[in-house]
Amino acid sequence: MRAWSALLALLLALPLEAAGKPLTLDEVLAVADAAHPDLDIAAAQRELAEAEQALAESLNDARLTLEGTLRTGRNPVLRDNFESDNSLRLNLRKTLIDSGRNQSAVAAARLETQARSLQWLDVKAQRRIALMSRYFDVLLADLRYTADNEFMTVAYLRWDDEKQRQELGMRSQAEVATLEAVFQDARVVRNEAERRMREKRLALAAALNRISELPADLVDPKLNSNDRALPEFEALLMRALAHNPRLVAQQQLLNAAQSRLAAIRAENLPSLEFEAEAASWSRNAATRDDLRAGFNLVWPIYQGKRVDARLAKEQAQFHLLQAQYEGMKLDLQQAVFATWQEIQQLRETERNAARINASYRDVALEQARAVYELELQTKLGTAMAETQAALWRQRSVEYRLALAWAKLEALVGGPIEAQSEANGEKGK
The domain locations on the chain are 21-73+90-412
pLDDT score, position 8: 39
Q: Which pLDDT score, from 0 to 100, does residue 1 have?
A: 36
Q: What pLDDT is stored for residue 5 in this prediction? A: 40
Predicted pLDDT at 183: 87
Tens digit of pLDDT at every position of the chain (428 positions): 333 344 334 444 444 444 458 899 999 999 888 878 888 899 999 999 999 999 998 988 899 999 999 988 776 665 667 778 888 999 999 999 988 889 999 999 999 999 999 999 999 999 999 999 999 999 999 999 988 888 888 888 888 877 877 777 777 778 778 888 988 998 999 999 999 999 999 999 988 888 877 888 899 999 888 989 999 999 999 999 999 999 999 999 999 999 999 999 998 899 999 999 999 888 877 778 889 999 999 898 888 888 889 999 999 999 999 999 999 999 999 999 999 999 999 888 877 776 766 555 555 555 555 555 444 444 656 777 777 787 888 888 899 999 999 999 999 999 988 543 433 333 43
Per-residue HEC secondary structure of the chain comes to: CHHHHHHHHHHHHCCCCCCCCCECHHHHHHHHHCCCHHHHHHHHHHHHHHHHHHHHHHCCCCEEEEEEECCEEEECCCEEEEEECCEEEEEEEEEEECCCHHHHHHHHHHHHHHHHHHHHHHHHHHHHHHHHHHHHHHHHHHHHHHHHHHHHHHHHHHHHHHHHHHHCCCCCHHHHHHHHHHHHHHHHHHHHHHHHHHHHHHHHHHHCCCCCCCCCCECCCCCHHHHECCCCHHHHHHHHHHHCHHHHHHHHHHHHHHHHHHHHHHHHCCEEEEEEEEEEECCCCCCCCCEEEEEEEECCCCCCCHHHHHHHHHHHHHHHHHHHHHHHHHHHHHHHHHHHHHHHHHHHHHHHHHHHHHHHHHHHHHHHHHHHHCCCCCCHHHHHHHHHHHHHHHHHHHHHHHHHHHHHHHHHCCCCCCCECCCCCCCC
Query: Class for domain 21-73+90-412, per CATH?
Result: mainly alpha
